[in-house]
Structure 1
Amino acid sequence: MKKNSLISKDIIPTLAKQRVISGFGFFNIWVGMAVIIATFQIGANGIDSMSLWQLGGAILIANIIIAVIGSLSGDIGVEHGLSFAAYLRAPFGTRGVHIPAVSKGIIASIWFGIQTYLGATAINYIFNSLTGFDSWFFWYVAFAAVQIINTAMGIKAIDRFAIVAAPSIILISIWIFFKVSGMADDKGIDVYTYVGTNDTTTWFLVMAANMGFWSALAVDIPNITRYVKAPKNERNWLKRNKNNYIPHLTALPIVQTFMGVIGAVSFLGTGLWNPIEVIQQTSTGWVMAVVLLMVVLAQWSTNSAANLIPASLTFVNAGARFKLSYTVGIILAGIVGTLFQPWAILDQLFVFLGYYGAVLSALAGIMLCDYYIIRKRRLNVKELYEEEGQYKFDGGVNWAGLLSWLIAGGAAVYFLDYMYLVGFPLGIACYYVLMKFWYLKRHPQKEIQSNFSDEFLGTTVGRDWYIAVDEKEESVAPSFDQIEAK
């Protein structure tokens, strides 16, 4: 056990007693994750070609679709307590998993850098105005360090922070909306009746861009839902997942749509997509302090749950043989995100969103096909942590998963304007065909051969998956019968 390269205490399944986040807590976390200053740019880029209502509709529909996909993938965490990277061993193999998982970890790290940079520039503006000290990179390092320390304190610290951050962000966002709306009124623009006439973008492209925006979190949300409370012995999916899908379907679409609308109104009123910059340039005193609070809370709350945790767990999964810890993974995520120079990527945000959204759309299709269609939510969890188990496939690689990802991801990149609508269904179709008519014949899976026995379910039947980290722990780990007896 000590030499097992697949086991680390940070990526074994969570137990019922470790699930400390309520539905309201998950809602607060989602509010924090959904407020991304970069979202303002999406709204601004679309308003010249349509009305505010059309723009809001495109963003809302895109995020409802993503919320549904996120809710479906979130059941992996609810049912089995698995992280994103640990689950990917099933469709990609115990070694093949590192290609999509580490790629996703790098993307999350880059997003951490982008968010931290946006926050640092706002902090620098405030302090430069008050003290004359001007160094955005100093504040970048300081802000990054604070976020890393908070995230390293664990999921409960993130939950507590969200309780404060979520209502503060909502209130300040409403204030910002009325502030920039007033600026538009001063220019004689009625934001509610304005209709853009340029053909620089379309309703469909705005929707597709927004789907790409959240494609990452739609696949790795099990990293959070594995800590969400769920009723044991509940076979009804809707009842078991109410703390999962209700926050998804409320917080993400509503908050994200509002952020896009704010960006659009800011652009109409000032010509700048970022209302934070606008208010900084036109305000002083307590108003600047309020804006600073908004920036810090928005970037911090997003980075902790949406970027640092996912990135860290993919790095921990890849470095399990070296006993890479959760904290070291978080620090590594901060370093990687900085090395990619996020301040340069921000200038090409839509290009970045397009390519990574396209690749991850295919990954989402493969994950959901494997979980719901191929395995019907059953999973031989203990063998996910066995080097010679059923998920070793061919030398640790599930070629059905990798080939499907290459085909569907490549097609999504080629049809970049339609990325999610190409990559997601094609990922499902390719993976299903390759598994059903090729790979399952070569590598039978116990959960499927059992005719989908309840032996391979978790929360639905009240089961916690105990994975021993070392031999001593293995000798005292309770059996399922003992758990039921309690």
Structure 2
Amino acid sequence: MSLANGNDDGGGAAPGGNVDFYPTTPAQRTATAWDMAGLWIGLVVGVPSYYLAGSLVEAGMSWWQGVAVVVTAKVILLGPLLAAAQPGTRYGVPFPVLARAAFGVRGAHVVVLLRALVACGWFGIETWIGGQAIFLLLPASLRHSPYATPLSWLATSPLELASFLLFWAVQLTLLWKGMHGIRALQKLSAPVLAMLAALLLGWAYSRAGGFGPMLSLPPRLSPPEFWALFFPSLTANVGSWAAVALSIPDFSRYARSQADQVAGQLGLPLFMGAFAFVGLAVTSSTMVIFGRVISNPIELLSMIDGTLAKLLAVPGITLAVVTTNIPANVVAPANALVSFRPATFSFRGGALLTALTAILFQPWRIFRSTDSFVFTWLVGYSAVMGPIAGVLLADYYVVRRMELDVEELYSSSAAGRYYYTGGYNVVAMATVMASLAPVVPGFLHKVRVVKSVPGALVFIYNISWFFGFFSSVGIYLVISAFCSRRGGRGDCQVNLSSSSPPALEPLLRHWRINCRQFISL
């Protein structure tokens, strides 16, 4: 069972007309707990996860402090993750459709596009990693030529940029030929990367002289310095998967039952903790081996002697990037563009715009240092993901008490239950903006647009996901309690709307008749 289901041709015109957005039928709900666990193993085992973990050692933590931060973050994230997955399994709807209940049929486009922008950024970062892998395979004479000298205005070298664009073009070519071959390779990527991680750990063990020397690097932070680093590091580790947690209904809608989706995802802290240990242990060992801490695994590979090591590692990294990057970071934004402007975008057109937008993010600037990747990119975008998740879950669990009218979710009629005011739930949109506003000064300070801001605002930025999530829950529930809202609580009665697409009506009737056992969960 493949959980990365994308639209190969972009058919359909809107959330209600795109077959990929229809509720899953019982026949489609075949994903077991092992499938859900496999999804997370495939996502967790990758270069960004390694780098995020290793960066904690580079910043001054010991290996065990780093593992504690990573595992704590994933345990915290598990709650919103499972909560967001529940409606996907219960009603069989993806994130763009579920978002209509809280944000309105048009407001949902806004949050889906914000989520898509994060995916575009990640596509660029993963593509940069693949390009760096290609760069490592180039002859030493080229890698040390003037073409490999960074240009100050570009922040990278022409040769590295060319490697990035080559890998970008390769991915786009594969995407143009369809998703089927990529999905077939997906099952190989996680085992291959896990094997490479084990080999890297074995190499570090051998070169450093055992786990004792490997893990001997002590914490280099005083208590005040540790806590100053702890909170943004915790936020970054939550934020690294906050976007996936938000759109987890895209995957959980294929689960056989709530028990399967819960059991399959409970292993996330364990998977991430195990892989984080590899990243932290190897990063710690680099101090013994090279005399300095190296947290970027691509940089580490460039320093390992021997062509064989590179010939083994680089194909594995590129395979993992291709099979993860396209399903995870292209399909969602491409489908979002199709649903937003169906007359303008086909799936291929949406994918091309996604790939072009990824270049505009200049991922080489994001991935060039721990500060830019961890404390600017991850902490920064989690400020947006937190409020959206807070509103979505508060609306579903508290306001609607987990009751949705599925047919109305697919209706764009002005008389529809989820149309609100002009297609927007003003309360939800205002809540997101109110929760995001206090984080903005800290972000502007981080990117050096503003020279100084009060310490309290810096702290709010450092805990941006937590602040956004919990403040949005509180604001949304308080305002909702005092507002007369159309469709404040979902109606259990399922009434087909005349505005639903004709092709959808038979499917929804079939879904209503055969899915009562899921609604009762």
Superposition TM-score tier, normalisation by shorter sequence: 0.7 to 0.9
Q: Which residue of 1 aligns with 2:410?
A: 385
1:213 aligns with 2:240: yes
* Maintained 8 Å contact 1:361/1:423: yes
- Partner Cα distance (1:267, 1:305) in 2: 36
Superposition pairs of residues 146-165 of structure 1, within 5 angstroms: 146-148=170-172, 160-165=184-189
1:116 aligns with 2:124: no
1:26 to 33, 36, 52: 36
Q: Which residue of 2 aligns with 1:444?
A: 487
- Partner Cα distance (1:262, 1:63) in 2: 21
> SS at 1:88's partner residue?
helix
Q: Which residue of 1 aligns with 2:255?
A: 229
TM-aligned CA deviation for residue 332 of structure 1: 2.3
* Maintained 8 Å contact 1:93/1:397: yes
* Maintained 8 Å contact 1:40/1:263: no
- The one-letter amino acid of 2:167's match is F
> SS at 2:218's partner residue?
coil
TM-aligned CA deviation for residue 57 of structure 1: 0.7
- Partner Cα distance (2:273, 2:310) in 1: 28
Q: Which residue of 2 aligns with 1:460?
A: none
> SS at 1:117's partner residue?
helix
Q: Which residue of 2 aligns with 1:362?
A: 387
TM-aligned CA deviation for residue 138 of structure 1: 4.3
Q: Which residue of 1 aligns with 2:519?
A: none
TM-aligned CA deviation for residue 24 of structure 1: 2.5
CA RMSD of aligned residues (A): 3.5
Q: TM-score, normalised by structure 2?
A: 0.78
Counterparts in 2 of 1:478 and 1:362: CA distance versus 1, 3 Å: closer
TM-aligned CA deviation for residue 402 of structure 1: 0.9
Superposition pairs of residues 22-421 of structure 1, within 5 angstroms: 22-47=32-57, 48-129=59-140, 135-148=159-172, 160-185=184-209, 190-199=213-222, 201=226, 202-226=229-253, 228-231=254-257, 237=258, 239=259, 241-242=261-262, 244-256=264-276, 258-266=278-286, 269-270=289-290, 271=292, 272-320=294-342, 322=343, 324-347=345-368, 348-349=372-373, 350-388=375-413, 389-413=416-440, 414=457, 415-421=460-466
- Partner Cα distance (1:476, 1:19) in 2: 15
Cα deviations across residues 302-354 of structure 1 (Å, max 9, x unaligned)? 3134322332232233224x273444333322121112221122232121222
TM-aligned CA deviation for residue 113 of structure 1: 0.4
Q: Which residue of 2 aligns with 1:234?
A: none
Q: Which residue of 2 aligns with 1:433?
A: 478
Counterparts in 2 of 1:264 and 1:299: CA distance versus 1, 3 Å: farther
- Partner Cα distance (2:498, 2:330) in 1: 24
- Partner Cα distance (1:255, 1:469) in 2: 46
- Partner Cα distance (1:304, 1:467) in 2: 36
Q: Which residue of 1 aligns with 2:155?
A: none
TM-aligned CA deviation for residue 29 of structure 1: 2.7
TM-aligned CA deviation for residue 105 of structure 1: 0.6
Q: TM-score, normalised by structure 1?
A: 0.83
- Partner Cα distance (2:313, 2:111) in 1: 37
* Maintained 8 Å contact 2:106/2:423: yes
- Partner Cα distance (1:253, 1:152) in 2: 36
1:8 aligns with 2:18: yes
> SS at 1:283's partner residue?
coil
TM-aligned CA deviation for residue 262 of structure 1: 3.8
Point out the more displaced range, 332-341 or 468-477: 468-477
Counterparts in 2 of 1:371 and 1:148: CA distance versus 1, 3 Å: farther
- Identity over aligned residues, as a percent? 22
- Partner Cα distance (1:30, 1:4) in 2: 29
TM-aligned CA deviation for residue 55 of structure 1: 1.1
- Partner Cα distance (1:411, 1:421) in 2: 12
- Partner Cα distance (1:60, 1:30) in 2: 14
* Maintained 8 Å contact 1:369/1:431: yes
- Partner Cα distance (1:67, 1:418) in 2: 17
- Partner Cα distance (2:83, 2:437) in 1: 24
* Maintained 8 Å contact 1:208/1:418: yes
List alignment gaps of at least 5 residues for structure 2: 1-11, 148-158, 441-456, 517-521
- Partner Cα distance (2:276, 2:100) in 1: 32
Counterparts in 2 of 1:230 and 1:368: CA distance versus 1, 3 Å: same
- The one-letter amino acid of 1:369's match is A
List alignment gaps of at least 5 residues for structure 1: 232-236, 458-464
